[in-house]
Amino acid sequence: MEKEKKICIIGAGASGSMCALFLSQKYKNITLYDLSEPLRTILPTGGGRCNLSNAKNDIKELAQNYPRGEKFLYSVFSRFSVYDTISLFEELNIKTYTQENGRIFPLSNSSKEVRDKILRRINHLNFKKEKVLKIIPKAEGWEVISDKSKENYTHVVVSTGGHFGYSLLKNLNINIIEPRPSLVGLKTKENFKEISGIVLKNIKSKELSITDDILFTHFGISGPLTYTLSSVFARKEYPYTLTFSLIDENYDLQSVLNNNPHKDIKNILSELIPKNFVKYFLIKLNISPETKGHEINGKTRDKILNYLREFKVTITGADKGEETVTAGGVDLKEVNPKTLMSKEYKNLYFCGEVLDIDGFCGGFNLQNAWSTAFVVSESILND
Ligand SMILES: Cc1cc2nc3c(=O)[nH]c(=O)nc-3n(C[C@H](O)[C@H](O)[C@H](O)COP(=O)(O)OP(=O)(O)OC[C@H]3O[C@@H](n4cnc5c(N)ncnc54)[C@H](O)[C@@H]3O)c2cc1C
């Protein structure tokens, strides 16, 4: 006869709660620990709308959106794909829709609906509002020590997310890749305070050859393109330089000047980029914004073009504390990709962002939470 499983899930966020939901279909003896309210971390997702996945049906194409974890996720996504996520949400009675850019949301646009419907399915399980401090391997299973209790379990799932929770693994000597902020605004050496709030649309990152928007802030730059860059370069040492092309490579400024000889340069350029930014950079280049088209000589024209084609920003840090996810976590070399069980410790599993896995904006991080939660639950069911 199968020995009764007594399962402990540490962290009732996206992945831990979903893992509990999967496991609850077979087991009743499941205890969830969280230092705060269960699934509170889902509430701010997608600006309160919960961008729960992204319509990438090809596994490799999906995995490409994870600067950390890409190859490791192949087998995870082959077991629980975007298609499975949509079916799961349907089963939870949460209808979804897909935006043109592939982002998937609940039809209600409400992360609260997602939270409530998942909680409804797991609220019969034991929940301990406690902070887990330590887990100790025993001859048969695990001892879990929290700030309020001590309890033994046969299986332990660590789903403490990317922001804290690594200290409970300290005594196990599991390698943790130092967490760094990702999907975050970046601090710059240049002071953009006077133009904070201005958005440059559809500009190109020379490093990544992708086009999106940046926003100037009091501390540097933010916006979707910055988020992607912060993710790709999350492990890069500061300071480093980013280069943007603010205009089309083929933009023929000379012809525009010829056609507008009596127009101020600030008005000529503000047809391409926001006026306040034009004024800001012209003054930086010692060019009067009121200079007429015919007064711009070849040298000044090239100065302007060089600036706009090679707009450089020096990154000095991340807006720490504001990150959406972290790059880093449990070293993937420590974990079997087929089972998500520790290679060193039997019946110790990891799911979600606690692993050294993180994706771009667009629903990829929650997809990782659902898929890894499923694989962990299957591994425990098959154990
Ligand atoms: C503002 C914001 C918006 C986001 N929007 C999106 C989005 O739209 N789409 C998307 O895909 N991703 C989004 N993300 C990222 C996504 O929310 C996370 O990747 C996801 O929640 C990770 O799930 P998780 O279960 O690994 O960790 P979490 O959801 O962070 O849950 C971890 C849980 O563990 C608990 N915990 C930690 N340590 C302990 C301990 N020692 N003892 C007990 N409990 C502990 C925490 O209290 C927490 O409840 C967003 C993140 C943020 C911050």
Q: Which mutation among 365, 374, 375 tests ligand 1's pocket best, with the greatest number of atoms within 8 A of CB? A: 365
Mean pLDDT over the full length of the chain = 96
Among 358, 383, 361, 381, which Cα is nearest to 369's?
A: 358
Q: What is the Cα–Cα distance from 88 to 80, expressed in whole angstroms?
A: 10
The per-residue pLDDT for range 65-86, each reduced to its tens digit, is 999 999 999 999 999 999 999 9
Residue position matching structure tokens 């391409």: 272
Residue 214 token pair: 């940046």
Mean pLDDT across the stretch 126-131? 98
> If you average pLDDT over residues 269-293, what whole number do you get?
96
Give the per-residue pLDDT at 1.
55
In 3D space, the residue among 118, 119, 122, 141 whose CA is nearest the CA of residue 25 turns out to be: 122
Q: Considering only CA atoms, which of 253, 283, 286 is closest in space to residue 269?
A: 253
CB 368 within 8 A of CB 359: yes
Spatial CA neighbour of 353 closest among 185, 229, 179: 179
Q: How confident is the model at residue 163 (pLDDT cuts 50, 70, 90)?
A: confident
d(CA 7, CA 153): 6
**CB-based contact 190:221 (threshold 8 Å):** no
Question: Are 352 and 376 in contact, with CB atoms under 8 Å apart?
Answer: no
Q: List C-alpha distances in Å: 110 to 46, 297, 365.
A: 9, 56, 18
Pocket residue to mutate for ligand 1, from 358, 366, 377, most atoms within 8 A of Cβ: 366
* R_g of the chain, CA atoms, integer Å: 25
Burial profile 353-377: b = 16 or more Cβ within 10 angstroms, e = fewer: bbbbbbbbbbbbbbbbbbbbbbbbb
Give yes or no for residue 322 having a pLDDT over 80.
Answer: yes
pLDDT tens-digit readout, 192-203: 999 999 999 999
- State the pLDDT at residue 323: 87
pLDDT at 337: 97
User: How many angstroms separate the alpha carbon of residue 207 from the centre of ligand 1?
Assistant: 29
Helices (H) and strands (E) in the chain, counts: 11, 19
Q: How far is the CA of 195 from the centre of ligand 1 (A)?
A: 33
Ligand 1: residues with CB < 6 A are 10-16, 33-36, 41, 44-46, 50-51, 131-132, 159-161, 164-165, 168, 324-325, 352-354, 363-366, 369
Atom of ligand 1 nearest to the CA of 130: 43
Beta strands in the chain (DSSP E): 7-10, 30-33, 53-54, 96-98, 103-106, 126-128, 132-138, 141-146, 150-153, 155-158, 176-182, 186-188, 199-205, 210-216, 220-222, 240-245, 311-318, 325-330, 348-350
pLDDT digits (tens, 9 = 90+) for 1-47: 567 899 999 999 999 999 999 999 999 999 999 999 999 999 999 99
Closest protein CA for atom 5 of ligand 1:
45
Domains of the chain, start order: 7-181+325-382 (3.50.50.60), 186-318 (no CATH)
Region 141-162: what's the mean pLDDT? 97
Distances (CA, A) of 250 to 243, 247, 264, 305: 18, 8, 22, 11
Peptide bond into 106 cis (omega under 30): no
Check residue 2 and give its pLDDT: 64
pLDDT at residue 380, as a whole number:
97
CA 220–ligand 1 middle distance (angstroms): 26
Q: Which two tokens stand for residue 197?
A: 């709030």
Q: Evaluate if pTM is beyond 0.75.
A: yes
